[in-house]
Amino acid sequence: MKALKLLLAIGAVAAGPVYADCSAPKAPETIPDGATAALADMMAAQKAVRAYNDEVKAYTDCLRLEQNNALAAAGDKVTPEERQRIEKEQTSKNNAAVDQAQAVTTRFNEQIKIFKARPKTG
């Protein structure tokens, strides 16, 4: 009976909780070229990058909740190896999302610098 409970707990952890649906957000498709973009395009991109960063924050919060729920579902029956696997998987997803968000923000900031350095006309 104990073996069956342990297998059920491990199966629940391995399958992941049905109620946690952490979907990685999609990065903005384009960042305007600061050398040629209109102010309106740069402002729209700024809003898109901010929204994307907010979505990444929500995603990483979801991942944390998903991890906590998976470990709670397994209870004290989770092995150290299984705990490490769950934590490693969630950390990997988290780091990938944060790295991508940082790359998008860096690209946008580079284009902002270029935009601001353009000669003023008019």
Q: Is residue 51 part of a domain?
A: yes
Query: Is the pTM here over 0.85, yes or no?
Result: no
Range of the domain at 6: 2-21+31-117
pLDDT tens-place string over residues 52-69: 999 999 999 999 999 999
Q: Is residue 14 part of a domain?
A: yes
Q: Is residue 91 part of a domain?
A: yes
Stretches in the chain below the pLDDT threshold 50: 1-19
Q: Is residue 122 part of a domain?
A: no
pLDDT of residue 11: 44
Q: Is residue 26 part of a domain?
A: no
Q: How far is CA 92 from the centre of its chain?
A: 10
Q: Is residue 90 part of a domain?
A: yes
pLDDT of residue 121: 73
Q: Is residue 43 part of a domain?
A: yes
Q: How far is CA 94 from the centre of its chain?
A: 5
Name the H helices within the chain.
2-15, 39-74, 80-117
- CA distance from start to end of the chain: 81
**Main-chain phi, psi angles of 71, to 5 degrees:** -70, -40
The count of structural domains within the chain is 1
pLDDT of residue 122: 59
Indicate the residue type of 112. I
Token output for 19: 């109620």
